[in-house]
Copies of this chain bind each other. A is one copy, B any other.
Amino acid sequence: MLIKTSHRFDDATRVTAGDSRWQGRTSPDYWAFVGPFGGATAATILRALIEHPQRSGDPLALTVNYCAPIAEGAFDLDVRLVRANRSSQHWSVELSQGNGDVATLATAVFAERRPSWSHQPAQMPMATPFEQIRRHPDFDMTWTRQYDFRFVEGAPGLHGGAKSTPGSAFSKLWISDRTPRTIDSLSLMSMSDAFFGRVFHARGELVPFGTVSLTTYFHVSAEELAAEDITRVLAVADAKIFTRSYGDQHGELWSPAGRLLATTTQVAYFKA
């Protein structure tokens, strides 16, 4: 069922190894308003770390700070293992273009996910099955066409003009690659930025918007995630506050079987 040739997502997040300096390139397939889709940038950074010969363990936490727009084309990734012990590694990654300033600054933690007591207080939200929901129509941005968004609740309603009273910022949706691809930690990283700006939902309109800082925690080992063998996640996102030109978002990515795979939070700029 899955495409065996290279997936567009893997092309878009491909990296070339260097000693400490790795290379990547923006993809026209994952383009947003004024630069690459932040999820693809985050996944590219994570890929460089996962493919790094010194990497050990599974991704536990990744924080990506979007400092400035990335221009179309090649970029460098300055990858540095800051500190390591026998159970965890701390990394930093700086993305820059043409010997210029840093455009994206990231830190990551990798860890040996040793067996332990286990408990999941969070419950998977109820949701209409994926197959019973129609795919959301495409948006202009090319990155949105690489995904299949099926809203259970809180679809963006951006065509009625600005709301007179704020709408709900909550969304619940299935997210899958448009061309199915087995979910790995790269998918989770990218999908954790694949929610639409919560401010669009609250305002009922598109406004100038940009993620400033994104943090994702992984709650599954690579081996457990591979065993899930899934091509979609149930995702929920909400916001707590919009004020003084910035708003928050927090979200969860669930396996169809009810396992919490990742949690994510971000703070984003808006103009409204």
Which of chain B's residues has its CB closest to A215's CB? B215
Cα-based distance from A84 to B265 in the complex (angstroms): 23
- Indicate if the CB atoms of A217 and B105 lie closer than 8 Å: no
Contacts of A111 in B (CB 8 A): 212, 245-246, 269
Contacts of A94 in B (CB 8 A): 82
- Indicate if the CB atoms of A60 and B212 lie closer than 8 Å: yes
Cα-based distance from A270 to B119 in the complex (angstroms): 12
Cα-based distance from A67 to B111 in the complex (angstroms): 11
A68 contacts the other chain (Cβ, under 8 Å)? yes
* Complex interface bits, A152-170 against B, C-beta within 8 A gives 1, otherwise 0: 0000000000000010110
- Indicate if the CB atoms of A102 and B117 lie closer than 8 Å: no
Cα-based distance from A212 to B57 in the complex (angstroms): 15
Which of chain B's residues has its CB closest to A101's CB? B83
**CB under 8 Å from chain B, chain A span 220-249:** 220-221, 224, 238-246, 248
A43 contacts the other chain (Cβ, under 8 Å)? no
A61 contacts the other chain (Cβ, under 8 Å)? yes
A47 contacts the other chain (Cβ, under 8 Å)? no
- Indicate if the CB atoms of B267 and A60 lie closer than 8 Å: yes
A56 contacts the other chain (Cβ, under 8 Å)? no
Which of chain B's residues has its CB closest to A66's CB? B90
A6 contacts the other chain (Cβ, under 8 Å)? no
Contacts of A87 in B (CB 8 A): 269
Cα-based distance from A91 to B119 in the complex (angstroms): 36
Which of chain B's residues has its CB closest to A61's CB? B213
Contact A107 B109, CB 8 Å, known A68-B83, A102-B90, A238-B121: no
12 interchain pairs (CB within 8 A)? A61-B65, A111-B246, A112-B245, A114-B245, A119-B243, A121-B166, A121-B168, A219-B240, A221-B244, A224-B244, A250-B250, A250-B263
